[in-house]
Amino acid sequence: MRTFRFFAKRLFLTFLTLSSAFFFSCGHNDTPRIYIGDTFQYWEADADSTFGDAMKNTANFKPLQDKCVHNLWHTLGKGRHYVWVRAEFTIPPQFKNQPLGLVIPHLRFAEQVFCNGAFISQYGAFPPHEQSTLFKAHFFSFPLNVLNQEGKNIILIKIFAQGRSGISSYSFVQPARYAYPNFETLNFHHTRIYMFLVGILFLTFILYLSFYLNLKSFKEFRDFAFVNFFTSIFLIPFFATELPMYTNGAIPYVPFIKLTLCIPPYFMVFFASMFAINFLSIKPPLKVNILRWSVLAIQVLLTLFAPNYEFLINIFPLMIILLTIQGLIGTVAVIKELIGKEKRMSALYFATGFLPLSSTIVVDLTLRITDNTRTYTYFSIFGWQISIIIFIVMLAFRFATIYKRNERLSNHLKEEVAARTSDLQFANNELSNLNERLEKDKHRSDMDLEMASIVQRKFLPKPNKHFRGWEISVCYSPQAKVSGDFYDYYSFNDTLNGITLFDVSGHGLSASLVTMLSKNIISRVFQTGFRRKEPVDKILNKINNLILAEKGDIENYMTGVLCRFDDSENPAKCKVELGNAGHPYPLKYSVSDNEIYELKGNDGKQHYGAIGMKGITVSFARSNFFMSTGDILLFYTDGLTESTNSKQEQFGLQAIKEIMKKNHAKSSDEILGLIMERLDEFTEYRGFEDDLTVIIAKRKNVSEYVEGEDYDESFDDNIEELEEADTESSESSDTKLESAENNE
């Protein structure tokens, strides 16, 4: 980059030197001239007015006091006008008896020149096929036979004026041998010099477009190419009068102006802004891109469908505003990167590239503001050429850097491939060893998991049980080998005292360990509370406090239901008390009214919280109801209702309720089978994504129970041990409960 900065500095100094020399070369030479601008008078006429009409209306001519380059536009106003301009001059002694020439440095739109009544020549074309001479200077030769060597010579110029028309107040008369070289010099500065620039721009366009077509990732090459292309099109009007296809009228004037002077600048600024964005590798927001394309579309459409030249003049201020908006998008992007640190140097180089253009724009504005009577060369066009050269160097450096890096990679490719191959071989060996260790570890883990699964299943009661007055069926389906779901029955002899179902958060081994920890705690607290006839919501609170104290920093929590039965008073109508700790609501089918109810709690309190969540206040639900013969209770975990099909629809409760109502007369095992069959169909036999447990408890006629059938002695065998354990550990448990409650 040091080389680039040195080159850019030298290039800019050279540009200043050359532009200064060029500027001073545009000045006046020492050859005497007769300036006729101070004698200009004008008379507005019509299209059919003739030289004779102008001579008859000499008294109606008014002094043309405005000396700026757009004086006719300022004097006559907008629209199309036909005006005669009159000038007088007397031949000085040194110019007598030799042909003279009139040089008009600037005149728009078209004109016919008469000298002393004789038609001299014409530039441009009048309507209906109007054609402007654009930026070209005008030369008219006055032969000796039309000149008055003594007295006044009258020049009459019929001008078709439209748009920003005007006649130069620096028009002058000289001997033809001096006037014509001065005319050629003016034409060189105002028109022909731009022809060389167009060639450079078009070659640059071809070069960088070719680069882009082969290197699509270099979007800045594409943008730079099109900036050059549209700049070359924009410069064509500056020397169009030197092209036969324009001067012979083959190209209509208004379409020519639209496609050269109007539309190309829109694309120049658009691609210059895009060039800044891609040069700095910026990704503008979508709304900025929409704004840029919208501005361009508005400009192009308004210009293409402009009905006439006057409309183009009228929308000129709007087009300047839209060009400013388009340019500000790129400018703001560069300024943001200059303020930031990541791409500051790139933004600084980019801004440096536009320095010649910015400097010459200031020069052009200064010249035209301080002296609006002259037509100056557009130095900003040459400044843009210098900027283009700087950007060519920048892009060449960028391309060369990438090329060198690729060349270096190519030269050392074999060594790098060999090194990478060796590394890969070593990595493969390590991976093989690691795979062997992982296989062994996996085998051990699988064995451990299988053992944990066996232990957990042994830990749970038999899935299908029959007690006096109850028929119970269970579906227990872990998502993995171990589960976070667990259930339990509590009975004395053949009497069912209670059922619990809990769902631990999470999956896998950690959740299963929490189930084993919690099952003993729940069993002990339930049985103690059962004997003391404590409300089920109070039992759940004690379970919560004790589990919080026991599990320590383990994050798993659980939801669950705890159901207590009492048919001691009326076996035909069992009294049920149900506690719910944040668990899905159990369902009850009632034979008496053939309806299904969700047991949401009827204790009149608000319910919130789950078991084992630190720092959370809880209020567990309690429901009190009766179960008659034929009534059905259904407990389930969320793995049932939240199972989904291929459309991500959940199974829900509706199908379960329909099965229970239609098949309530069947056994609990049959009802459970129908529910699971419907679930398999719904999930398309894809298996379950969560642990799933369903318990159906159907109330049967107490008199139909055969004593000893499927009798579970677990509660009976251990009741005495529990009594003793309760007495021995009551102090320890009460201490933990009291501590947990105090913490809460």
Residues near 429 by Cβ (< 8 Å), separated by ≥ 6? none
pLDDT reported for residue 736: 53
pLDDT reported for residue 121: 93
Distance between CA atoms of residues 168 and 186, nearest Å: 13
Of 291, 288, 281, residue with least CA distance to 346: 281
- For 433-466, letters b (16+ CB in 10 Å) and e give eeeeeeeeeeeeeeeebeebbeebeeebbebebb
DSSP string, 153-204: EEEEEEEEEESS-EE-TT-EEEEHHHHHHHHHHHHIIIIIHHHHHHHHHHHH
Phi-psi region of 730 (alpha: psi -120 to 50; beta: other; left: phi over 0): alpha
Distance between CA atoms of residues 134 and 163, nearest Å: 12
> How is residue 469 written in tokens?
């007055």
Contact (CB, 8 A) for 539 and 734: no
**Model pTM score:** 0.53
Distance between CA atoms of residues 40 and 512, nearest Å: 107
- CA–CA–CA angle 406, 409, 415 (5° rounding): 165
Residues near 569 by Cβ (< 8 Å), separated by ≥ 6? 575
Which amino acid is residue 319, in one-letter code? M
Contact (CB, 8 A) for 543 and 561: no
pLDDT reported for residue 711: 41
SS3 535: coil
- CA–CA–CA angle 250, 255, 257 (5° rounding): 100
pLDDT reported for residue 12: 44
Residues in the chain: 744
Which amino acid is residue 9, in one-letter code? K
Contact (CB, 8 A) for 322 and 299: yes
Distance between CA atoms of residues 555 and 541, nearest Å: 18
Distance between CA atoms of residues 234 and 260, nearest Å: 5
Of 430, 412, 411, residue with least CA distance to 422: 430
pLDDT tens-digit map of 480-535: 767 778 889 888 888 899 999 998 887 766 677 777 778 888 888 898 888 888 99
Which amino acid is residue 705, in one-letter code? Y
Query: The sheet that has 118-123: what strands, in order across it?
Result: 62-63, 41-45, 80-90, 152-162, 110-115, 118-123
Distance between CA atoms of residues 15 and 9, nearest Å: 10
pLDDT tens-digit map of 535-559: 998 999 998 888 888 877 777 889 9
Give the other-Cβ count within 10 Å of 237's Cβ: 20
**Residues of the chain below pLDDT 50:** 1-28, 709, 711-731, 740-741, 743-744
Distance between CA atoms of residues 127 and 344, nearest Å: 56
